[in-house]
Amino acid sequence: MCKINCPLRAVIKKRQAVIRMDTNMTDRSGKTIPVRMNTAGLFDAYQVKAKQAGVNLELENEEELPIIEADANRLRRVFTNLLDNALKFSKNDGTVTILTDQTEKDIVVKVKDEGIGIDPQDLPFIFESFNRGKGAEKKKGFGLGLATVKAIVEAHGGQVLVKSELGKESIFKVILPKERVEHEPLE
Ligand SMILES: Nc1ncnc2c1ncn2[C@@H]1O[C@H](COP(=O)(O)OP(=O)(O)OP(=O)(O)O)[C@@H](O)[C@H]1O
Ligand SMILES: [Mg+2]
């Protein structure tokens, strides 16, 4: 392993800095504004990609979600990352479903797929940068999408959870508070 001037390490450091900068909602480009989660817009935007991937895309909107305080661009990246994963790890002719729901305090958006699933041994690590589970090596990627998702959701005071069954399905659940929770800015 190289200790000095390791190009890979430099790339990793730079990328981690980018993730931190990108999810720091106190910087000037990342102001939060009142936003309504536009799952219908995401659904429309992903129709072509889904078709190309041989996947059926469905939208189950329980009801219109309320407006929340959020950084619209970064929030969109959360769901594009989750949808890109769902399509990438789907089986041919599988279904990817976007589901929305809400509780008294939170809005909930789930992305469910009928893909390869995630090995229980890999599950605790998939939100770490550069971590890819078994089977992922057949697909393109660096293992950065979910680290970005987690950082953005947590910067909004929310949580991202995953449930998966190997060979069957994965469900990513994003919970975002309706009221902005004050938080320490990310480093
Ligand atoms: N929907 C999914 N189905 C099965 N495995 C998944 C799914 N989403 C994520 N994973 C697993 O979690 C790992 C980490 O996901 P992540 O999005 O961070 O990386 P990636 O998609 O491999 O690469 P990148 O996002 O950088 O293109 C994946 O490599 C894969 O093993
Ligand atoms: Mg990804």
Q: Is 183 part of a structural domain of the chain?
A: no
Q: Encode 77-86: b = buried (16+ Cβ within 10 Å), e = exposed.
A: bbbbbbbbbb
Say whether pLDDT at 183 is over 90.
no
- pLDDT for 16 equals 55
Cβ partners under 8 Å of residue 187, min gap 6 = 20
Cα(142) to centroid(ligand 2), Å: 8
Question: Residues 93-131: pLDDT tens digits?
Answer: 999 999 999 999 999 999 999 999 999 999 999 999 999
Ligand 1: which of 132, 137, 148, 165 to mutate, judged by most atoms within 8 Å of the beta carbon? 132
Does the C-beta of 19 come closer than 6 Å to ligand 1?
A: no
Q: Is 154 part of a structural domain of the chain?
A: yes
- pLDDT for 13 equals 57
What HEC string does the chain produce? Answer: CCCCCCHHHHHHHHHHHHHHHHHCCCCHHHCCEEECCCHHHHHHHHHHHHHHCCCEEEEEECCCCCCEEECHHHHHHHHHHHHHHHHHCECCCCEEEEEEEECCCEEEEEEEECECCCCCCCHHHCCCCCCCCCCHHHCCCCCCHHHHHHHHHHHCCCEEEEEEECCCEEEEEEEEECCCCCCCCCC
Q: What is the CATH number of the domain that holds 86?
A: 3.30.565.10
Cα(94) to centroid(ligand 2), Å: 18
Question: Which ligand 1 atom lies nearest to the CA of residue 84?
Answer: 21
The whole model's pTM is what? Answer: 0.86
Six-digit token pair at 51?
A: 């078709």
Q: Is 187 part of a structural domain of the chain?
A: no
Q: Is 129 part of a structural domain of the chain?
A: yes
Q: Is 102 part of a structural domain of the chain?
A: yes
Ligand 1: which of 12, 82, 85 to mutate, judged by most atoms within 8 Å of the beta carbon? 85
Does the C-beta of 136 come closer than 6 Å to ligand 1?
A: yes
Q: How many domains does the chain have?
A: 1
Q: Is 1 part of a structural domain of the chain?
A: no
- Residue 10 pLDDT grade (very low, low, confident, very high; cuts 50, 70, 90): low
* Domain span holding position 153: 7-177
For residues 123 and 187, what is the distance between their CA atoms, to the nearest angstrom?
A: 26
Residues with CB under 5 A from ligand 2 (ion): 85, 145
Question: Which ligand 1 atom lies nearest to the CA of residue 145?
Answer: 25
Q: Is 182 part of a structural domain of the chain?
A: no
Q: Is 2 part of a structural domain of the chain?
A: no
Does the C-beta of 85 come closer than 6 Å to ligand 1?
A: yes
